[in-house]
């Protein structure tokens, strides 16, 4: 095994129990729950953010360490030979994990899992505690590994604490562990409230014609692309803006409608500028297995920005916000968007 060392991580003296966070989401992909929590934990202890491996043409496995400005997080990115089979990858990742711990003198870490599949190579690691932060029902997602549920069951047996990303997921799993808790994501109110405090709106979005309806987040199998296309065609005077990276979808799978704009990702710092340009915020989620237990963080973020929110009837959204008129039945989605535009207390200029 080779080791590419960036630098000795610097942390506050005297801290104990570093966290090794195993995540299927890369640190610099989209800022979500793992980044928010680990940034806070990193104020008092070392954080090693262990990501899924990259294939490489190199003949042996090695680690890369990546710093991120303004944080005390070390992102750990394993590189494995692309010719390795599943067992070789699992064994190699286990060796790299042990190597990382030895070189960085990591003793009695807290193992914090977002990706249950990564437990397959970390199961033998001694730890002060094991936490499984179950954000979603990952087994229902597109291209989920066939053995995910089996490995997750092993992780649940080992875990000292299990958290769920929303209430519906908690209800589905509440009897599967004796220390499980619903832990829905919070919101950085000040950050998103800037959208209604005179911040300069995103120029490219302001210049779009008509009323602007927007979404930000990952664009994958959870988004109802057919619904978006129908609404865009039914309301050609609207501009619908989809902000975010594609995942598990190709460009050829996106609907092509002149007033439906897929503009790619924007940094977290720029999201309030996007929101400031919109008249209505959207959550156009499909109703399928992948969305059955989701609890979208963007719901309170949109509301903090002062925008009317129109969502398809996601269970956790209905449970928390169903008394609001902007959570319609599926067949009334475009009608509710139209009503939200008419009744908005702070309309944006066209």
Mean pLDDT calculated for residue range 171-196: 94
Higher pLDDT among residues 245 and 3, named by residue: 245
Q: What is the pLDDT of residues 48-103, one digit of tens each?
A: 999 999 999 999 999 999 987 777 789 999 999 999 999 999 999 999 999 999 99
Residues 277, 114: Cα–Cα separation, whole Å: 33
pLDDT at 153: 93
Q: 132: closest CA among 149, 146, 106, 152?
A: 152
- Structure confidence at residue 337 as a pLDDT band (50, 70, 90): low
Rounded CA-CA distance 166/296 in Å is: 9
Residues β-bridged to residue 77? 64
Q: Percent of the chain beyond pLDDT 90?
A: 71
Average pLDDT rounded to a whole number, residues 222-245: 96
pLDDT in tens, 157-167: 999 999 999 99
Q: Please name each of the domains of the chain with its CATH number.
A: 2-182 (3.40.50.2000), 189-343 (3.40.50.2000)
User: Under DSSP, is residue 262 helix (H, G, I), strand (E, B) or coil?
Assistant: strand
The whole-model pTM stands at 0.84
Which segments of the chain does DSSP mark as H helices, in order?
Answer: 33-41, 86-103, 119-122, 148-158, 167-173, 189-193, 203-206, 225-234, 271-277, 298-304, 315-321, 333-343
The helix (H) or strand (E) run that includes residue 29 is none
Closest by Cα among 280, 105, 273, 148 to 202: 273
Query: pLDDT tens digit string along 254-275?
Result: 999 999 999 999 999 999 999 9
Q: Is residue 50 within 8 Å of residue 20, measured between CB atoms?
A: yes
């Amino acid at each position: 095994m080779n080791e590419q060392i960036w630098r000795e991580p610097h942390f506050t003296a005297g801290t104990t129990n570093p966290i090794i966070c195993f995540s299927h989401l890369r640190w610099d992909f989209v800022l979500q729950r793992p980044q928010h929590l680990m940034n806070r934990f990193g104020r008092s202890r070392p954080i090693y953010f262990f990501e899924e491996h990259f294939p490489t043409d190199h003949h042996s496995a090695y680690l890369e360490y990546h710093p991120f400005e303004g944080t005390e997080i070390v992102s750990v990115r394993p590189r494995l030979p692309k010719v390795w089979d599943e067992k070789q990858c699992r064994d190699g990742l286990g060796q790299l994990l042990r190597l990382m711990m030895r070189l960085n003198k990591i003793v009695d870490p807290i193992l914090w899992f977002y990706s249950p599949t990564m437990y397959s190579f970390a199961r033998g690691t001694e730890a002060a505690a094991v936490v499984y932060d179950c954000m979603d029902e990952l087994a229902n997602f597109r291209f989920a590994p066939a053995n995910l549920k089996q490995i997750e069951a092993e992780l649940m047996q080992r875990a000292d604490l299990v958290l769920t990303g929303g209430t519906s997921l908690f209800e589905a799993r509440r009897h599967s562990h004796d220390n499980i808790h619903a832990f829905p994501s919070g919101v950085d109110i000040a950050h998103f409230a800037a959208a209604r405090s005179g911040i300069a709106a995103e120029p490219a979005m302001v210049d779009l014609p008509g009323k602007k309806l927007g979404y930000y987040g990952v664009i994958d199998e959870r988004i109802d692309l057919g619904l978006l296309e129908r609404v865009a065609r039914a309301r050609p005077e609207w501009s619908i803006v989809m902000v975010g990276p594609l995942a598990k979808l190709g460009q050829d799978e996106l609907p092509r409608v002149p007033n439906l704009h897929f503009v790619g990702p924007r940094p977290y710092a720029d999201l309030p500028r996007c929101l400031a340009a919109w008249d209505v915020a959207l959550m156009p989620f499909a109703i399928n297995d992948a969305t059955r237990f989701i609890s979208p963080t963007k719901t309170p973020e949109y509301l903090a920005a002062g925008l009317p929110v129109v969502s398809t009837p996601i269970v956790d959204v209905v449970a928390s916000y169903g008394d609001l008129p902007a959570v319609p039945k599926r067949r009334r989605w475009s009608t509710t968007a139209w009503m939200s535009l008419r009744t908005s207390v702070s309309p944006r200029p066209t």
